[in-house]
Structure 1
């Protein structure tokens, strides 16, 4: 089979390529002046807090070399915390501190860092070595997320996260990203994490993809990744849907986590979300985008230009329900957890 015929088949299935994503969706729906709202994690967090969306609490901001020495004061009441570059991408530059011991900071991997080590890292963040475009940056000190126990059977260390791609406030596809030993405990697919499709209607996980291969078990825990009922699913869907109003960006990736104490939290937003989510769901973004755009046009002819977030969510959960759900949650799957709706968001 030729490459040309293969591409024609992918197009027929509604698979979106990177050029189509950039030209037809990112450039078309995302106004350039709005990018700082998502490219800077501090601005995203401040805007979300103002809108009543739960995020990991912020302990402090370091935006100059003179302020680096204030770290001890910022974290004096917090045994564990996270250091992030405000404009970082792909998890680069993030340090997760699990506890403090005899003047040292212990990372989640067990490595001990001195205060000088941390100050050196903060200096690097400020210089922009992790930022988009290499611009001078700020360091964010925030709450350390502890994953909900439901993920213990299907994740290796780190914090699993959930990504939902949204078009004009309509959720299109969802994916659970699970850390592995190979990814170093990070939920980054390019570093070896697993991407698992999630049914929009129910929040039940589908099959996974790992290193460009389809899998149904986690390589480290050996437990099935399929058939897990994600708790708070309606809440996650509602949060992702409302991020359109939060930013004004029409094409958006919403990254969220489930903390064992605080429930669903929004981590960050992405104006250029990747396309691997299509592999994890065995479904094309382009096809779903077309269906949403048709619905927007249909409503516009009736004079409805701003359907409510609840109606947008209901449309997508009805139209994009998976046709390949497990018959039932397998006895050897990770345990299901009660779906408590949106009460904790």
Structure 2
């Protein structure tokens, strides 16, 4: 990556200039943004229920076998649980056991706002658990890999796969140990495999990823991300999405404060991507042709030059005879000659 990488200051400047406060508030609420996307025909994971108060926990044990618990306004993957029922308890992708009392305690923490940005109460969402497409399933996968596409002015500028492992506890966040798989934005072809913790690139073969591997439905994936970005209104955003087991494109959420690690994953600068000229320059309008009845070689003759008038002289009139003589010459009578 070159020295022209986007830094935190430039990222924050773009966010301040391009993302309004109402847009940021919409993006923070996963529930509100999902409802907006669904209204416009974009698929998202199904919501089984919304827990607003501790009293809503009654009957929590009756929810489906596999589900996801997440805070409405959480960030960085904090507070999200992917659960699978096993008899009288649930298992996470990292094989952590959650019994009913543990699950209720975790939901209480969500409601208290312990995973949200601000010190405020939050909502707890109970969602459908999504399983990934075979196209996103490589070796050593633990959890749900997602696709992060960074958009600037609602146009995609960078993309990667966030690949959860046992080290990340099944979470698709690079900051907790997930791997970043760089993607060529134009084709969806895998470019490299990056580990943030040790700042190293692993060979693709280590995860059984074929060289030159390309994600299917790539044009549709990029178009869906750009449409979601436009609906949010955010001028600079990170769209998180998934290709599920039925190869459907689903939006998970949108981030109004996208991280910059995608530059390391792709070994390419976001700043350079933003400065690239449009792929197709605007067409130059045709020159206006000359009027048909005015040939280019024709020149109008200049009018003849008029003789220069004598300068006017101001002087008092000496006599009435001279005044009458001048009046006859100029066609008027005046006390002073101009």
TM-score range, shorter chain: 0.7 to 0.9
Count of residues in Structure 1 that have an aligned counterpart in Structure 2: 282
CA contact (8 A) 1:69 1:119 kept: no
TM-score, normalised by the number of residues in structure 2? 0.78
Alignment of 1:1-345 (within 5 A): 10-11=3-4, 15-23=5-13, 25-73=14-62, 75=63, 78-101=64-87, 103-210=88-195, 211=197, 212-217=199-204, 222-224=207-209, 226-261=211-246, 263-291=248-276, 295=278
* Distance change (3 Å), C-alpha of 1:183 and 1:28: same
Does the Cα contact within 8 Å between 1:180 and 1:194 map onto a contact in 2?
yes
User: What is the alpha-carbon distance in structure 1 between the residues aligned to residue 38 and residue 23 of structure 2?
Assistant: 18
Supply the RMSD in Å over aligned alpha carbons.
Answer: 2.3
Map Cα deviations across residues 205-261 of structure 1 (whole Å, 9 max, x no partner): 10121131122237xx64247522212211110111112321111111000111103
CA contact (8 A) 1:206 1:225 kept: no
* Structure 2 portions without partners, runs of 5+: 286-338
For structure 1, the residue ranges without an aligned partner over 5 or more in a row are 1-5, 303-345
Change in 2 beyond 3 A, CA 1:16/1:251: same
Given that 1:208 and 1:226 are in contact with CA atoms closer than 8 Å, whether structure 2 keeps it comes out as: no
String of CA shifts for 1:61-88, please: whole Å, max 9, x gaps.
0011121224235x1xx21100001111
Tell me if the contact between 1:173 and 1:277 (Cα under 8 Å) persists in the aligned partners.
yes
- For residues 193 and 226 of structure 1, the distance between their equivalents in structure 2, rounded to whole angstroms, comes to 21
Structure with more helix by fraction: 1
SS of the residue corresponding to residue 136 of structure 1 reads coil
- Of structures 1 and 2, the one scoring higher in RCO (CA 8 A, sep 6+) is 1
The verdict on how the C-alpha distance between 1:185 and 1:225 changes in structure 2, with shifts beyond 3 A counting, is: farther
Cα distance in 2, alignment partners of residues 37 and 295 from structure 1: 30
Return the index of the structure with the highest Cα Rg.
2
